[in-house]
């Protein structure tokens, strides 16, 4: 039996969150939609564009639910944009979507929901809330492997997961769009938003777009590329955007063999390249590793990017913040999130050091 609740649904204006709201309304919950105003600068996508707010408002109107806009712009600048820039300036690789979830969607929004008397919050993430027989909660992978977002929710604590609903996590993306079409929602065929909402499509959300965004905020320094003998073999336009393991986008003067970034001296702006084998390691340090419900040792599945490969590894009690890979693994860039699973459930995660 479904227990009726007062639920605050984060409506980004996309198909996933609007279908999530519709499903909760169908279940009989008292649903209120809220769109978060986060980025105050120029934007052409993400949760802050005028069209997205309008789509969220119109869907809420269609569903017969109240709709509000919460302005968390200052918090977004402080916890997401400023650290994003600072990380690149310091030679780390940031993950702004994870920091937005950590500080805004699942901290600031929960606090606002508490203040307004809501029982639960819901989002359109493709992941699932799991409750074990012993009452412990975990985030499970979404039913659609290609859209699974459990990786970006790894930081959630027990009390947050307990009060979270993820209505579309049990469906494939195609099925979500079918449901939106059946319900006549204006978002049924709306394209998915891009991850970094504060970087515009023009000049692009890849390296060029990041370079323009960062160049308006910090000095950009070119890098000298050397081989392991110290011989200069090329250059890179920005030391800030070079990452360990990178192969593409390096000006190496037409070298015949593939070479990869194996070391970055950020202070000296020197990048060292070597063979693929030189990028491999048997362990990755995760100094701030946090567990969902207590430490887990033994065999695990580990993921190091939002849609990256899942590799077997283990954690031993004697080295509780070290991921030991079953097979040699490419070094993980400092700043990237390392997420640990038992089968398809998140059990912990942290940032590579």
**Phi-psi map region of 204: left, alpha, beta (phi>0 left; psi -120 to 50 alpha):** left
Concerning whether 100 is annotated as a catalytic residue, the answer is yes
The contacts of residue 181 (CB under 8 Å, 6+ apart) are 188, 189
Concerning whether 197 is annotated as a catalytic residue, the answer is yes
Tokens 């194996």 belong to 262
Helix segments in 196-279, DSSP class H? 207-215
Q: Which DSSP string corresponds to 276-339?
A: GGGGEEEEEE-TT-EESSS---EEEEEE-STT--EEEEEEETTEEEEEEEEEEEEPPPTT-EEE
Helix (H, G, I), strand (E, B) or coil at 165: strand
Beta strands 120-122 and 6-10 are parallel
CA distance 332 to 43: 30
Q: Considering 47, 97, 197, 304, which one is annotated as catalytic?
A: 197
Residue pair 155/349 in contact (Cβ under 8 Å)? The answer is yes
Angle among Cα 50, 166, 199 to the nearest 5 degrees reads 35
Helix (H, G, I), strand (E, B) or coil at 76: helix
**Residues belonging to the active site:** 100, 197
């Amino acid at each position: 039996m479904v227990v009726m609740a007062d639920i605050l649904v984060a409506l980004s204006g996309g198909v996933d969150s609007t279908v999530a709201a519709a499903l909760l309304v169908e279940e009989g919950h008292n649903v209120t939609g809220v769109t978060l105003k986060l980025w105050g600068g120029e934007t052409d996508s993400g949760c802050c564009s005028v069209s997205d707010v309008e789509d969220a408002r119109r869907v809420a109107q269609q569903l017969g639910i109240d709709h509000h806009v919460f302005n968390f712009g200052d918090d977004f600048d402080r916890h997401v944009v400023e650290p994003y820039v600072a990380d690149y300036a310091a030679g780390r690789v940031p993950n702004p979507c994870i920091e937005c979830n950590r500080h805004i969607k699942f901290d600031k929004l929960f606090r606002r929901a508490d203040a307004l008397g809501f029982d639960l919050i819901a989002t359109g993430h493709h992941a699932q809330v799991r409750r074990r027989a012993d009452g412990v909660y975990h985030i499970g992978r979404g039913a659609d492997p290609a859209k699974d977002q459990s990786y970006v929710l790894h930081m959630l604590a027990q009390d947050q997961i307990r009060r979270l609903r993820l209505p579309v996590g049990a469906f494939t993306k195609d099925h979500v769009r079918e449901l939106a079409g059946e319900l006549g929602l204006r978002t049924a065929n709306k394209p998915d938003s891009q991850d970094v909402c504060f970087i515009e499509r023009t000049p692009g959300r890849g390296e060029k777009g990041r370079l323009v965004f960062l160049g308006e905020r910090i000095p950009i320094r070119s890098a000298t590329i050397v081989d392991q003998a110290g011989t200069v073999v090329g250059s890179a336009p920005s030391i800030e955007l070079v990452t360990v393991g990178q192969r593409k986008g390096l000006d190496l003067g037409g070298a015949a063999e593939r070479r990869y970034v194996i070391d970055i001296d950020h202070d000296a702006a020197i990048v060292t390249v070597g063979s693929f084998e030189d990028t491999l390691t048997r362990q990755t340090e995760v100094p701030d590793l946090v567990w969902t419900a207590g430490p887990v040792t033994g065999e695990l599945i580990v993921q190091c990017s939002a849609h990256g490969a899942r590799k077997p590894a283990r954690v031993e009690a004697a080295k509780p913040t070290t991921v030991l890979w079953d097979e040699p693994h490419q070094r993980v860039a400092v700043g990237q999130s390392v997420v640990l699973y038992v089968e398809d459930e998140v059990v912990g995660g942290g940032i590579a050091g």
